[in-house]
Amino acid sequence: MKISIKMFSFAMVFGLVICAAYWFDTGDAPGTVFLGFMAIGFLWVVLYLFGSRKTTTYDGDEERLPSELAGEHIAVVSSESPWPILLAITTSAFLIGTVLHPMLGFFAIVCFFIVVWQLAREST
């Protein structure tokens, strides 16, 4: 929790510094307002984390050795399955397709749903 608070605090300070630098460099009000909203959003997250730190515990808060974590079951991933790499390929094709041509993006999203369906069917 302490690391999260520090990380979002630094992001908030970075947003404020960039907001001020942007205002003094360009004088552009809309861009400055949006950068200020970014800093306000990070401030909201920091305040929420301060408010919830007494009642919330995260897995990273516990002090456990890596040797204690070695026996945990994380996920079932088959090395012989072609679906994870096909999922990555269809996701990349969708992202590239939305930029290059909508038809490529459409075909990629159809293939994406087929791959997700096959991956879910294989893992049950």
Helix (H) or strand (E) holding 116: helix 102-123
Position 26 scores a pLDDT of 92
In a domain? residue 109: yes
Question: What does the pLDDT look like over 49-104, one tens digit per residue?
Answer: 888 877 776 666 666 666 666 666 555 666 678 888 899 999 999 989 888 888 99
Residue 12 has pLDDT above 90, yes or no: yes
In a shared domain, residues 51 and 6:
yes
Residue 8 or 4, more confident:
8
Residue 19 has pLDDT above 70, yes or no: yes
In a domain? residue 76: no
The mean predicted confidence, pLDDT, of the chain is 84
Among 50, 122, 38, smallest CA distance to 83 is for 122
In a shared domain, residues 95 and 53:
no
In a domain? residue 43: yes
State the pTM of this model.
0.46
* Total number of domains constituting the chain: 2
Q: Domain containing 88: what range? A: 83-123
In a domain? residue 74: no
Asked if 61 contacts 1 with a C-beta cutoff of 8 angstroms, the reply is yes
Q: How confident is the model at residue 114 (pLDDT cuts 50, 70, 90)?
A: very high
In a domain? residue 7: yes
